[in-house]
A and B are shown apart, each in its own frame.
Chain A
Amino acid sequence: MSDVSLKEAYIDKTRRDFLKKAGAGVTTLALASGVTLMAYPEPALARKQEEMVDPSQRWGLLIDVNKCTEDCDACVTACSVENGWKLDGNPAVDAQWIRKLKIKNPRSGHEQTFPVMCQHCAKPPCVDVCPTGASFKRADGIVLVDKHICIGCRYCMMACPYKARSFVHEPLEEQKSHAPRGKGTVESCTLCVHRVDRGDKPACVEKCASDGHGALIFGDLNDDNSEISKRIATYATKQIRADLGLDTGVRYQNL
């Protein structure tokens, strides 16, 4: 993407933000004495269907490990339901979109559980190693596999330090129309890109919130006014294997 179009995208975004703020209050219009027209603002929607992803955005997740309880796997179930993958009880070939990890401090015995999925790195190693260009990072920071050109070599699975990708070994039928997956290709968390594109949050975030945990926050890391950016600016957060310098989009709090 050239500097010019990036700049244009930025101007567009500021313009849109201004319009959002301008339209935020309830607009009232007094027609006659005693008759008032009230226009309530629409909820902040994402871009229109025909618009391209906004390259000035960078989607990310913040996971508060303290709010994540050990016996809950709502995020994993929600992901499975949303994207139509199932576990067959064979860890060697099972799908690895999202999983719960448990870590223990051997000295104190302190335990923590938290979900790990594709970390949507700014510098993704899976994209570096892909020989066909199937593994790619979208303009808004979401790392995806273009299964049309994936040849199933699985280099990306080797390269990913988070073991976030898996390979489909068996032929599939009746997939979700919004989450195509097929034999011979690699797959991973898409940050529910189909939901993000229509202005929703990923399934795991929505389920975690509706179950009353609220351990997952989704938002634009580049927007200083988003909740996720404010939290990251206020509290100490971590990236897993920050030493690799991948600049992950998924951050952890209280880890």
Chain B
Amino acid sequence: MFAIMKRVLSVVLFASVFSLANAAGAQEKNTPAHPRVSGPQFTLPESTDKCVHDSDYAKTGKCVRDTEFMRRNHMNLLKHKRDITMYKGIRSKHNSLQNCINCHVTKDDAGKAIKVSNSKHFCASCHEYVAVKLDCFECHRSTPDTPASTASIPKIPAHANLLASNSSEVKAMGTFLKGVAQ
């Protein structure tokens, strides 16, 4: 009976909010849980403690985990990843928010990636439904990087760069040279 109860408690699904509340109440009656802790206890499945590297990730050919797992645990994976990136400088793609955004992109009719302010955004669609505030995009970008946004500093000297970008001059020179050759 206890095992079944525990199983019920470990399931945190968006749709089962009401059943969860009931289960939590049942737990309080039957098992003396920690007095200060109310509600269901959330435990992370053990396998997430391991940091899976990009090489393993590539082998499986799948996105991080199955949908059911991700629905419940994406925030824990992201939090773990954010800390190892921030403090240890590990910038692998696996579990990175940037990688999530690049894959789960929703585009509008014009083919432009939509921002999180739009309810159709992958993250927003669920978070709005369950009324959970989404903080990531106060700082992070909610759309994939575009060539313009990743525009890096040209590696050649500034004057050379100016010359190279003057395509009309290059074309005119090309036409002239072709004429000479003919």
Task: Report which A residues bind B (CB closer than 8 A).
Answer: 49-53, 74, 78, 81-82, 84, 136, 138-140, 144, 146-148, 171-178, 180-185, 193-194, 197-198, 203, 206-207, 210-212
Contact = CB atoms under 8 A, between A and B. Distances in A.
A140 B91 CA distance: 15
A50 B53 contact: yes
B155 interface: yes
B179 interface: no
Given A49-B90, A177-B150, A182-B138, 16 more contacts: A49-B54, A49-B92, A49-B93, A50-B51, A74-B158, A146-B86, A147-B139, A148-B82, A171-B138, A173-B115, A174-B143, A176-B149, A180-B139, A180-B141, A184-B138, A197-B89
Q: How large is the interface on B (under 10, 10 to 19, 20 to 34, 35 or more residues)?
A: 20 to 34
B87 interface: yes
Contact of B87 (A74, A82, A136, A184): A136
Interface in B107-165: 115, 138-141, 143-145, 149-158
Interface string B56-88: 000000000000000000000000001000111
A210 B155 contact: yes
A176 B142 CA distance: 10
Contact of A138 (B87, B149, B152, B153): B87
Residue among B101, B140, B156 with the most chain A CB within 10 A?
B140
17 contacts: A49-B93, A51-B90, A52-B89, A81-B152, A84-B149, A147-B139, A175-B140, A177-B150, A180-B140, A180-B141, A184-B138, A193-B89, A197-B89, A203-B153, A210-B156, A210-B158, A211-B157
A210 B153 contact: yes
A144 B139 CA distance: 15
B154 A175 contact: no
A170 to B, nearest CB: 12
Contacts of B54: 49-50
Contacts of B151: 81
B157 A212 contact: yes
Contacts of A203: 152-153
B106 interface: no
B98 interface: yes
Chain A to chain B: the 10 pairs with minimum beta-carbon distance, closest first: A182-B139, A180-B139, A53-B89, A182-B138, A52-B88, A49-B92, A78-B153, A180-B140, A177-B141, A207-B153
Given A52-B89, A74-B158, A212-B157, A177 B152 contact: no
Contacts of B88: 52-53, 139
Contacts of B138: 171, 182-184
A203 B156 CA distance: 13
B153 A144 contact: no
Contacts of B101: 177
A140 B145 CA distance: 28
B152 A49 contact: no
B136 to A, nearest CB: 9
A51 B53 CA distance: 10
A213 B69 CA distance: 53
Contact of B141 (A144, A148, A174, A207): A174
Contacts of A148: 82, 86
Nearest to B93: A49
Contacts of A173: 115
A49 B91 contact: yes
A78 B154 CA distance: 9
Contacts of A146: 86-87
Residue among B93, B151, B158 with the most chain A CB within 10 A?
B158
Contacts of A136: 87
Nearest to A173: B115
Contact of A177 (B115, B149, B154): B149
Interface in B155-182: 155-158
B53 to A, nearest CB: 5
Contacts of A198: 91
